[in-house]
Structure 1
Amino acid sequence: MPSRGRRPTRIGPRVSRPTTRPGTPGVSGGEIVGTSSVRILFSVVRIATAIAAVIGIIAQYHVNYAYWQDLGVTGVAGKSLDFALFFTVDANLLGAVVLVVGGVRLARGRVADPGVGWVTLRLASTVYLVITGIVWNLLLRGQPQPEPLKLDWADQIVHVAVPLIVLLDWILAPDRRPLRAGAIGRVIAFPLVWIAITLLRGPFTGDEVFQTATYYPYGFLNPDSSPGGYGTVAAYVVGLTIAVCAITGALILVSRFRAPTDPHRRATPAIR
């Protein structure tokens, strides 16, 4: 028996207590994501890509505005609205916002458990930019347009560079979170609404630049110039819907694997 006043001798190895602090992995207050150099690299790339996207859109609007002025277009406000309703413009501006917010979050080094809204928004932005790049390169690249409107470097930025970088960011960035298939319905909502507005607006919106009674931002959505009319347009819409759902599903699947740049990140439950 141990003598009085003396502590008993510990038998076995000493077990150290875990020391966790807010902001470390596994704590609900947030988590440090990736190493500092990786986080800063992705943060810089995100913000630089956002700036490039905005510059590309502004440059395209500038050449369009100058062209309208040269033609003596009186409905500049209407043409500006037409420009703003291009899916390419919408996808790149949304992408720029998401990239800046995501870049700041990474630079700060703390990422609280993301809510459904933020995770879905980042996924949606990636899908919209990827589909923009695919459609432009398959259906629209090389189509004739007035010489003053040609701006190849801006086209390459908003239709090739930004979609590719955002896709790689989704695959490689250390702050990815698992998602479930239910996110597909949320992502597809905006493209369907955009298509509906475009088709409903087209017959009642003339084009002062090309002197037509109707206006559609993309030729494959124009029933007047399509061989099969609305039937051809419907086929394109169905095909694009399937493509968006397939791309979204693929990116959701990717989200369930640990990002290569963050090998020590703890698994996060999938979001419904």
Structure 2
Amino acid sequence: MFRACHGVIAVLVVVGLVVDVSVTVAGGPSASGGAVVELGLADRLANLFSYFTILSNILVLAVSGTFALRPEPTGALFRVLHLDALLSIAATGVVYAVLLAATEHPTGWSVVSNTIFHDVVPVAFPLVWLVFGPRPRLTWRLVALAFVWPVAWLAYTYVRGAVTGWYPYGFLDATLLGFWGALLGGLQVFAGAVVLAVVIKLLDARLPALTGRSSTR
């Protein structure tokens, strides 16, 4: 069941990516943003893969695909990757529900990818971890290392936005909010991610130990 659940999640993410890339190539609105018809193909694809939503789901794909093939990778790097996937996809679901859902209205095929990326995977991936594990596998050092990637994404977003004038989310848009307003938006999301990371670490330590095969150690 553990491997099957992760296999289903991986397939869903692939479906979402195929839909979103296809819509973006066609020049329509992606699941993670507004109309991008006026941009060239390279810019549209670069924007698509600059969304935290897309990158978070790709992390989930990497982890779920690995678990589907091999139930218990144990290396420190994979544990950080798994935590990054848990943290990122949970943040994606929460931020979308709280800040973005009321302002975004996908149409056509984008409804499919939007539902997968923002509604299904952010619930399914953490739920599979809660039910099947594997845990305990985290240390506070690994939690700290997990923040390398979101900090790098924020830095990339601000630098690329300063160069292109395009930001993936309004609460990070320095053109609209000014530098300090955009920085505050990033810090608020970062603070929320820290809280999520602490919750995940505590759950990892206190919930029943599981190997990933729904059995106790």
When the two structures are superposed, what TM-score results if normalisation uses the length of structure 2?
A: 0.86
Unaligned residue ranges in structure 2 (runs of 5+): 29-34
Matched residue, 2:31? none
Give the % identical residues.
23
SS of the aligned residue for 1:177 comes to coil
| Residue 71 of structure 1: how far off its partner (Å) | 8.1
| Residue 264 of structure 1: how far off its partner (Å) | 5.7
**1:239-254 mapped onto 2 (5 Å cutoff):** 239-254=188-203
The answer as to 2:91 corresponding to 1:91 is no
Deviations 1:32-90 (A, max 9, x none): xxxxxxxxx1211111111101111221221222126x987562112211111111111
1:219 and 1:102, CA in 2 relative to 1: closer, same or farther beyond 3 A?
A: same
**1:182-193 mapped onto 2 (5 Å cutoff):** 182-193=141-152
Counterpart pick for 2:14 among 54, 69, 76: 54
| Residue 238 of structure 1: how far off its partner (Å) | 1.3
**1:16-165 mapped onto 2 (5 Å cutoff):** 41-67=1-27, 73=38, 75-106=40-71, 111=72, 114-144=74-104, 151-165=110-124
SS of the aligned residue for 1:179 comes to coil
1:142 and 1:115, CA in 2 relative to 1: closer, same or farther beyond 3 A?
A: same
Matched residue, 1:35? none
Letter paired with 2:117: V
Matched residue, 1:176? 135
Instruction: Please tell me the root mean square deviation across aligned C-alpha atoms, in Å.
Output: 2.6
| Residue 163 of structure 1: how far off its partner (Å) | 1.1
SS of the aligned residue for 1:184 comes to helix
Tell me which protein shows more helix as a share of its residues: 2
SS of the aligned residue for 2:117 comes to helix
- How far apart are the structure 1 equivalents of 2:118 and 2:107? 19
SS of the aligned residue for 1:224 comes to helix
1:95 and 1:243, CA in 2 relative to 1: closer, same or farther beyond 3 A?
A: same
Letter paired with 2:169: Y
Q: Is the contact between residue 171 and residue 186 of structure 2 (CA under 8 Å) also seen in structure 1? A: no
- How far apart are the structure 2 equivalents of 1:140 and 1:233? 16
The answer as to 2:213 corresponding to 1:258 is no
Deviations 1:104-147 (A, max 9, x none): 223xxxx47x1211212111111111101111111111325685
When the two structures are superposed, what TM-score results if normalisation uses the length of structure 1?
A: 0.70
Unaligned residue ranges in structure 1 (runs of 5+): 1-40, 206-213, 267-272
Deviations 1:190-222 (A, max 9, x none): 1111111111111221xxxxxxxx111111111
